[in-house]
Amino acid sequence: MDAKTLCLGVLVMGDASGYEIRKMFDEGPFAHFQDVGFGSIYPALAKLSDEGLVAVTGGSGDGHPEKKVYAITPAGRDAFTQSLARAPKRDKLRSDVTFMMFFAEFLDPDHLRDVYDDYLAHYRDRVQFMESLDPKGVPEGRLFVRGMGLAFYRAITEYMTENRDRLINAGPGAKDAAE
Amino acid sequence: MDAKTLCLGVLVMGDASGYEIRKMFDEGPFAHFQDVGFGSIYPALAKLSDEGLVAVTGGSGDGHPEKKVYAITPAGRDAFTQSLARAPKRDKLRSDVTFMMFFAEFLDPDHLRDVYDDYLAHYRDRVQFMESLDPKGVPEGRLFVRGMGLAFYRAITEYMTENRDRLINAGPGAKDAAE
DNA sequence: AATCAATATATCGGCTTGATATATTATAAA
DNA sequence: TTTATAATATATCAAGCCGATATATTGATT
């Protein structure tokens, strides 16, 4: 999905500023399956505005930053629906930690253990956070996606908890690093 | 991970051409957690060659394509080890299908069902494929990573099988599309 | 003999990424 | 109270990546 469609997706749920859009992908409901930075969001919003797909309110223009609020237009809604109707690209997971573990024998055992435990702790936090969310009034599509994220985080957490020693205790000189 | 490090990772396991490196990320052992295209691999190999981190054999240079085989040098091994020692970036999943499902109410029910079933079929295939792999002689790190991929694919497959009707039958006019 | 799929290298525009700069406001600590 | 810190907020830019495309050879199938 290109940055323009991602922005429209947020705006279809309500008006927002560029900063607020970012938060949706950084810590909000999209955080576990999409990502966009400011470097993509601001140019995307400018283009959407040029094309009449969003309308802007606020923003002085002279020097100091003032909040600009974007609202989707009827043309923007149409464009969004059309984007969703296109055949989706296949999923893409990019995990540098997994790449490191693949080459576990090239790593310093202490470093491997530290990275592993940080990573596992992070996924445990994600599980706890998602379990704490209130499902009341959330549309079916969003609940489904949330449930899938939780299933994914739980699977990783369980696997990493059960197989920790298998990886940490492998490799040269790893015996001291296990705890 | 940048394209250069990904290439070095493949070459550390044995000599390969650009095309063979690509296959490792497209259908090989890295396919489920990393991705690189030709547009990144060829420039990366050229840079690595300039820096003396890989050595090239073959390739005529005049017009028609001839296979070039790359081999990692001792300096390349050092550079690879150093790259692995750096703090890894956090995981990033990009799933356009999940984005579509989030906005299920904006989709034509038939289209949603088609996309859903294709997606589920794809993950079922991945599970079957990974279960068919022979673990004999595979180093611990690679087995661990393979197991984690399998855990991930299984979790998605199970969730999608159990919750299919919940999503497909939601939304306006969806009753006919369920089967 | 013709067709198709796989092998193989390479390029390029458009887009994304990650870092950085800048400024305001709200909160917490000294 | 003053200071420091964190959060809010917009914006830009170089470097690098992505997806599409072009080209050519080899092997397998019809």
Q: Which nucleotides of C are covered by protein (CB under 7 A)?
A: 7-13, 15-20, 22-24
pLDDT of residue A178: 47
* Least CB–CB distance from B93: residue in A32, A81, A99: A32
Tell me, rounded to whole angstroms, the distance of Cα B174 from its chain centroid. 34
User: Mean pLDDT per segment of 10 residues, for chain B of length 179 residues?
Assistant: 97 97 95 96 97 88 69 97 94 96 94 95 93 91 95 97 91 50
Count CB pairs under 8 A between chains A and B: 188
B157 C-beta less than 7 Å away from strand C: no
pLDDT of residue A61: 45
Name every chain B residue with its beta carbon within 8 A of the beta carbon of A9. 99, 102-103
- B61: exposed, middle or buried (C-beta count within 10 Å: 0-12, 13-18, 19+)? exposed
- Which residues lie closer than 8 Å to B85 by C-beta, 6 or more apart? A107, A108, A111
Residues of chain A with pLDDT under 50: 61-64, 174-178
| Cβ–Cβ < 8 Å for A68, A89 | no
d(CA B75, CA B5): 13
Interface test with B, best of A4, A114, A148, A156 (most B CBs within 10 A): A148
Q: How far is B60 from chain A (nearest CA, A)?
A: 34
Measured in angstroms, what separates residue A139's CA from nucleotide C23's C1'?
Answer: 38
